[in-house]
Structure 1
Amino acid sequence: MADARDSRVAEPRAGRDAAGRARYRRILRFAARAFVQIWWFELVLPRVGMAHVAERTRDERMLALARRFRALAVALGGLMIKIGQFMSSRLDVLPPEITAELAALQDEVPAVPFEQIRVVADTELGMPLERAFASFDRMPVAAASLGQAHRATLLPADAAETGLDAVIVKVQRPGIDRIVEVDLAALRRVARWAQRVRMVSDRVDAPALVEEFAQTCHEEIDYLHEAVSAERFAQDFIDDDRVGAPAIVWERSTRRVLTLEDVTAIKINDTVALRAAGIDPADVAQVFAGVMLDQVFTHSFVHADPHPGNIFVTPLDGSARGWRLTFIDFGMMAEVPDDLRAGLRTLVIAVAARDSRGLVRAAQQIGVLLPSADTVQLERALTVLFARFGGMGFSELRDVDPEELRQFGMEFGDTVRSLPVQLPEKLLLLMRAVSLTSGMCSALDASFNIWEPVEPYATKLLRDESGNLVQDLVAQSTANMGALWRMPARVDGLIDRFDAGTLTFDISSLEHRLDRIIRVAVRAVSAVLFGGLLIGGALLLGPVTWLGVTLMSVSVLPLLHAVFGRR
C-alpha cells in the first residue's frame, strides 16, 4: 500500500505535463517487462527442473534486452543514456556482445538544434553569444545526454586576461532539470521493485544506490561544481608531467554554461592516430592505468567517467615522454573515503601476494563481504583462482579452454552467491572507473596485464606498511600491558559477583537458534503430514470417494504451513 501511495505521489510530481507522464510510464513499462522475463527464466524455470532452458536462451535473451534498452535510451535520452553507458563499461559482468550493443550509446546521442542552445546560453550569460565570444561554432563538437559542447574563441580582452584563445563551451540541454526529475522518479520506483526480490535485497540497497546516482546526476548538471572539480584534479597532478586538464574561464561560466580551454587532441582509443604520432598504445595503457591508480591511492579523488571521449593523448615537444594524458569532463568524480582506501590498500597487497585470506579480509574491510560470513570455501576458491589464473593478462586468458573458464566461473559463482555479499553505495562510481580503465587498457594493448601496474603499487604499499610496523607493535604492546594491568581487578570483580549470586550469562542467541530449529522441525512435520494426507486421499478416491476428497482437501492446511509458516 505504501509503495502504491508513493508512486501516485511521485508520478504527478515527476511528470507535471503529458510528456513527463508518458516518459515516466514508458520507463516503468520497460522495467516491468524486464523483471517479469528475468523472474520467469531465472527463478521459476530452474525450480521446476527446466534450468537448461534458461541457460540455453540466456545470451540471446540478454542481447535482445540490451537492444530494447538501447532503443529506449536513444528515444528518451536523459538519464537512460547514462545508465546504458554505465552498463556498457561492465565488461567484468556482462558479455562483450551486450557491452558492445550498449557502448554505441556513446555516439548515438542526438544534438539539440542550435537555436535552442542559443536561448539557454544567452539567458545564462546575460548577453547574446555574439557579445560574449569573438566566434561561436553552431555545429557541436560533441553531444552528451545532459548537454553538448561547441567550439568558440574568446574576445581579445578575455583572451589577454586568461591567456587562452580557443575554448570549448558546454551548454546544458533545454529542460534537462525536468527530464532528470522524471527519470529519477521512475528509477526510485524500479529500485523499490528490485528491493522486494530477496536475492537483490540481500546484496545491495537498491534505493540507496539510486539516491547516490541522483546525487551524482545533480552534481553533473551543475557546471560550477564541475569547474571546481576540474581545478582540484589539475592541482592534484600539478607536478606530474603525465597528466593535464583544461583551464576554466570563470567569467564565461555559470551553472548551465561552462567555458574551458580547448584541449582536444588524439582520442585515447584511436590507435591508428597514436601510432602515426609515434606513440605506442601499449605505453599509453601502462601510463593510463598508473594515473588511475594514483587517483585512488594517492589523491582519493577519481575521475569516474574515463571513457574514450573524455581522455586525450596530447603530443608534447621537448618532453621526455613526448606526450601526456589530458582529462576532460569532471562532472562525475568519486571521492574515496579513508576507510575505503584502507580496504583497497589491503586488497591490492593481497592480490599482488596471491594471498586468498588477505583478499577475504579486504572484502570484509571494504564492506562487500559481511564480517559474519563463513569464508572457508571462498578462501579455497580464491586459492585455486590464484594458482590457476593468477598473474594472467587478458590475452593469456583468451587462450584458456573456454569450458574450463565456464566451469570455474560456475563453481566460483556458486561459492560467492552462498555468502552474504553486498554492494556498498560508495563503490558504485569507483567500480565504474575501474571497469572503464580495465576495458580501455585491454583495447590499447591485447597483452595488457593488470598486475604489472598494480605490483609497483603493492611494493610501495608494503613498504609503507612495514614503515608503520614499529608503531603498530608499540601500540599493541601498550594495549596488552593495559589489559594485563586491569586483569587482577576484573578477576576479583567476577569472583565477587559469583559469591553474591549475581553472575549471569546471556544465552539469547542460543535460544534464538533453538527456536529456529524447532520451527524448521515443525514445518518438516507439516510437509510429511501433507504428503500422507495427499497420498491417502488419492488411494481412497476409488473405494471411499468422499473420504478421499476430504483428506486431499485437508492436506492443503499442512502444505500452507510448510510453505508459508514462520521461518
Structure 2
Amino acid sequence: MGFLLAGAGVIAYDGVVNEFTYCGSSVRFVRSLKTAALIAIDYLGLNELDPEYERKIKALHKSSAERLLDTCLLNGGLYIKVGQGFAAVNHILPIEYTSTLAKLQDECLPTSKADVQKVFRSDFGQLPEEIYKEFDYKPVAAASLAQVFKARLPSGEQVAVKVQYNDLQKRFISDMATIIFLQDIIELIFKDYNFGWILNDLRKNLVHELDFWHEGQNAERCAKDLQKLNYVLVPKIYWPHTKTRVLTMEWMDGLKISNVEGIKRQKLSIADIDLKLYNMFAEQIFKTGFVHADPHPGNIFVRKNARNGKADIILLDHGLYEELPANVRIPLCDFWVATVMRDEAKMKVAAQQMNVVDHLKFGDVLFQQPVQMHEGPIRSKLTQEDIDYVQKVARENFDIIMSTLKEMPRSLLFVVRNLNTVRAIGNMHGDVVDRPCAMARHAQHCLYVQRGGSPLEYLKWLQRRFYFEYCLWSKAFRERLLNWYLNFLYIVGRAPPSARTLMRDIRKQDQQMLT
C-alpha cells in the first residue's frame, strides 16, 4: 500500500508541477521499447534459406514500417523529426520503410487550443488574441516540432505564426535519450545497421531547431545570401512578435512543390521549377556555404509570379542549417564537376583536400548512384532498377559506406541529406532536368567567384565551361550517331532487328555487370 501511495504521489506531483512531463516520457519509452522489441522478434524469426524469404521480408519491412509510423505519430515531437530523417535515406533503407515514413511529413498531430495559449502566456504573458488583431486557432500546418497558424497583425499584415508544442523543450532530453538508447539496442541485435553516431551528431542541431529566435536569424541570412536569385522568396520575420517558441513571419500563399497536379493547373513549367530549385541549393552548397538542411517538400512552396507568369520558389522552415567552410566548399565544387566530367584523377585530388580517402565511395554517397569510371555519364534519371541496385550495393558494402560517411567532414552530412531530398523531389517531377549537370555548371561559376573573380580567372572559367559543355555534347552526339548508323544498317538489310536497340542494351548490360 505504501508503494502505491508513493507512486500516486509522484504522479500527482509530476502532473501539478511538470504537466505529466516525466510520466509522458515513461509512456513513450515503454511504447517505443515495445515497438522495437516486436520488430526485432519478427526479423530474428526469418530464415534466409526459406524459399519465400524475399516475399516475406518485403512484407515484414512494410509491417515494421507501419509500426514505426504509428509509434512516431503517437509519441510526436523528436520521434517524428527522426522518422523524417530516416525517410530521406531512400538510397540505403528499403523502399517499404522510406515510402511509409515519408507520410510523417504531412501527418503530424495538431495540439489543443489550451496548449497554444500556455505557450503564449509563458513567452509573452498574453494570449494570442491580445497580441494579434486576428488569430485562427485552427492550424494550417502541423510539423514535427510546431504548428503554423494564420493571423493578422494590429497594423493589418497577414502573417503565419509558428508555435512550438508546449511540452517539447521539457521532454527533449528524455526523448532524445530514449531514441539513442533504442538505437544502441538495435545495433546490438542487427550488426549491419549503425546510425547511432549520426543521431549523436544531430543532437546539437536539434537544440538550435528548438530556438525560434535562432530560426528567424537563419531566415534573414538565407534571404540575404540568395537575394540575387530574384525567384527565391523567404518570408519576412516580425521580430516584435517573435520569441523562443513563437515565430511570426510574412504569410505567403503557394503550392507544395510536391503538388504536381496543382502546378500543372497553374500552367507552370516543371523544368523551370526544378532548374531554379537546383540552382538555389547549388548557390548555398557551392558558394554561400550556409545550407538549408531540411528541404523536404513541405518546406518548399511554388507560386506564380504576377509579373512574368513564371514560378517563384518559397523556402520555409529555417531551423536547421549547416555551415560549409571554404576549405570544404571549394574542393567540393571541384569534386562535383570532376565527377560529372568522369575525371577520376581530379576527383581523387579534390577528395583528398576534404580528407576523404575513398573518392569513389564518396561519389556514390554524394550522387546517390554508382560513379565508377566505366559506368558512363552520371545519370539525371534513375529507374527503379537503378534504385534497387544502389540499395543492394548499400547493403553489401554497408560498412564501407558508413566509414565513408564517418571520415567525411561532419558539415557534409547534412549536405548529403539536402542532396538526397532534392534528388527525390526531381524524381517525383519525372527528372525533367539533368540535376548533376545543372549543379556542375553552378559549381564551375562558384569556383570562378571564390578564386577572386579576376579577368584571368574569368578566362579560365570560360575555358572550363566550354570544355565541359563540349564533352557533354560530344558524348551524346557520338551515341546518337552510332545509334543512327546501326538503324541504317538494319534498314538496308545489313544488320539484324536487335541492332535498333543495341545501344540501349549495351548501357543496360554495363549496369548489370556491376550486379
Q: What is the CA–CA distance in structure 1 between the aligned matches of 2:335 and 2:227, rounded to whole Å? A: 28
> 1:189 — aligned with what?
181
Note if 1:344 corresponds to 2:349: no
Note if 1:230 corresponds to 2:219: yes
Q: What is the CA–CA distance in structure 2 between the aligned matches of 1:309 and 1:431, rounded to whole Å? A: 19
Note if 1:260 corresponds to 2:259: no
- 1:173-209 residue CA offsets vs partner (Å, 9 max, x unmatched): 11111332221011232344456579569xx6x5542
Cα displacement (A) at 1:55 = 4.7
- Decide which of 155, 158, 163 is 1:166's aligned counterpart: 158
- 1:200-242 residue CA offsets vs partner (Å, 9 max, x unmatched): 69xx6x5542232221221111110101111111111123202
Larger Rg: 1
Alignment of 1:212-251 (within 5 A): 212-251=201-240
Q: Is the 8 A contact 1:300 1:336 kept in 2?
A: yes
- Decide which of 349, 353, 359 is 2:341's aligned counterpart: 353
How many residue pairs were aligned?
Answer: 431
Paired residue secondary structure (2:243): coil
Q: Is the 8 A contact 1:194 1:200 kept in 2?
A: no
- 1:254-296 residue CA offsets vs partner (Å, 9 max, x unmatched): 0011111101312222222222323111210111011111110
Q: What is the CA–CA distance in structure 1 between the aligned matches of 2:166 and 2:24, rounded to whole Å? A: 14
- 1:407-451 residue CA offsets vs partner (Å, 9 max, x unmatched): 787568646756883423433322221111001112123444322
Cα displacement (A) at 1:245 = 0.4
> 2:441 — aligned with what?
456
Residues 132 and 407 of structure 1: is their aligned pair in 2 closer, same or farther, counting only changes over 3 Å? closer
- 1:311-353 residue CA offsets vs partner (Å, 9 max, x unmatched): 121322334x733211111011122233432442232022111
Q: What is the CA–CA distance in structure 1 between the aligned matches of 2:310 and 2:389, rounded to whole Å? A: 46
Residues 239 and 410 of structure 1: is their aligned pair in 2 closer, same or farther, counting only changes over 3 Å? closer
Q: Which amino acid aligns with 1:392?
A: R
Residues 447 and 57 of structure 1: is their aligned pair in 2 closer, same or farther, counting only changes over 3 Å? farther
> 2:483 — aligned with what?
none
- Decide which of 395, 418, 424 is 1:439's aligned counterpart: 424
Q: Percent identity?
A: 25
Alignment of 1:131-530 (within 5 A): 131-156=130-155, 165-193=157-185, 206-319=195-308, 322-360=310-348, 362-363=350-351, 365-366=353-354, 369=357, 385-388=372-375, 390-394=377-381, 397=383, 402=385, 410=392, 414=396, 417=399, 421-424=403-406, 425-460=410-445
Q: Which deviates the most, 144-153 or 406-415?
A: 406-415
Q: What is the CA–CA distance in structure 1 between the aligned matches of 2:41 and 2:119, rounded to whole Å? A: 41
Q: Which runs of 5+ in 1 are unaligned?
A: 1-11, 160-164, 472-567
Q: Which amino acid aligns with 1:394?
A: K
Q: Which amino acid aligns with 1:443?
A: M
Cα displacement (A) at 1:463 = 5.7
- Decide which of 6, 27, 31 is 2:32's aligned counterpart: 27
> 1:67 — aligned with what?
66
> 1:18 — aligned with what?
23
Q: Which amino acid aligns with 2:310?
A: G
Q: Is the 8 A contact 1:350 1:358 kept in 2?
A: yes
- 1:360-409 residue CA offsets vs partner (Å, 9 max, x unmatched): 555555456469x999xx9xxx99844445233326x45xxx4x986787
Q: Alignment RMSD, CA only?
A: 3.7
Q: Is the 8 A contact 1:67 1:101 kept in 2?
A: yes
Q: Which deviates the most, 20-29 or 111-120?
A: 20-29
Q: Which deviates the most, 411-420 or 127-136?
A: 411-420
Residues 362 and 60 of structure 1: is their aligned pair in 2 closer, same or farther, counting only changes over 3 Å? farther
Q: Which amino acid aligns with 1:111?
A: P
Q: Which deviates the most, 408-417 or 435-444?
A: 408-417
> 1:517 — aligned with what?
none
Q: Which amino acid aligns with 2:144?
A: S
Residues 117 and 220 of structure 1: is their aligned pair in 2 closer, same or farther, counting only changes over 3 Å? same
Residues 467 and 137 of structure 1: is their aligned pair in 2 closer, same or farther, counting only changes over 3 Å? closer
Cα displacement (A) at 1:142 = 0.6
Q: Is the 8 A contact 2:92 2:391 kept in 1?
A: no
Cα displacement (A) at 1:72 = 0.7
Q: What is the CA–CA distance in structure 2 between the aligned matches of 1:383 and 1:149, rounded to whole Å? A: 40
Q: Is the 8 A contact 2:394 2:401 kept in 1?
A: no
Q: What is the CA–CA distance in structure 1 between the aligned matches of 2:113 and 2:275, rounded to whole Å? A: 40
Q: Which amino acid aligns with 2:110?
A: A
Cα displacement (A) at 1:58 = 3.1
Cα displacement (A) at 1:464 = 7.1
Q: Which amino acid aligns with 1:151?
A: K
> 1:541 — aligned with what?
none
Q: What is the CA–CA distance in structure 1 between the aligned matches of 2:256 and 2:341, rounded to whole Å? A: 35
> 2:120 — aligned with what?
121
Q: Is the 8 A contact 1:284 1:444 kept in 2?
A: no
Q: Give me the TM-score of the superposition, normalised by structure 1.
A: 0.67
Q: What is the CA–CA distance in structure 2 between the aligned matches of 1:90 and 1:188, rounded to whole Å? A: 18
Q: What is the CA–CA distance in structure 2 between the aligned matches of 1:419 and 1:16, rounded to whole Å? A: 39
> 2:490 — aligned with what?
none
Q: Is the 8 A contact 1:168 1:259 kept in 2?
A: yes
Q: Which amino acid aligns with 2:298?
A: G
Residues 420 and 153 of structure 1: is their aligned pair in 2 closer, same or farther, counting only changes over 3 Å? closer
Residues 96 and 440 of structure 1: is their aligned pair in 2 closer, same or farther, counting only changes over 3 Å? same
Paired residue secondary structure (2:119): helix
Q: Which amino acid aligns with 1:307?
A: H
Cα displacement (A) at 1:100 = 2.0
Paired residue secondary structure (1:235): helix
Residues 197 and 359 of structure 1: is their aligned pair in 2 closer, same or farther, counting only changes over 3 Å? farther
Q: What is the CA–CA distance in structure 1 between the aligned matches of 2:303 and 2:182, rounded to whole Å? A: 42
Paired residue secondary structure (1:394): coil
Q: Is the 8 A contact 1:89 1:99 kept in 2?
A: yes
Paired residue secondary structure (2:403): coil
Q: Is the 8 A contact 2:333 2:447 kept in 1?
A: no
Residues 306 and 409 of structure 1: is their aligned pair in 2 closer, same or farther, counting only changes over 3 Å? closer
Q: Which amino acid aligns with 1:308?
A: P
Q: What is the CA–CA distance in structure 1 between the aligned matches of 2:199 and 2:296, rounded to whole Å? A: 22
Residues 339 and 193 of structure 1: is their aligned pair in 2 closer, same or farther, counting only changes over 3 Å? farther
Residues 465 and 423 of structure 1: is their aligned pair in 2 closer, same or farther, counting only changes over 3 Å? same
> 2:493 — aligned with what?
none
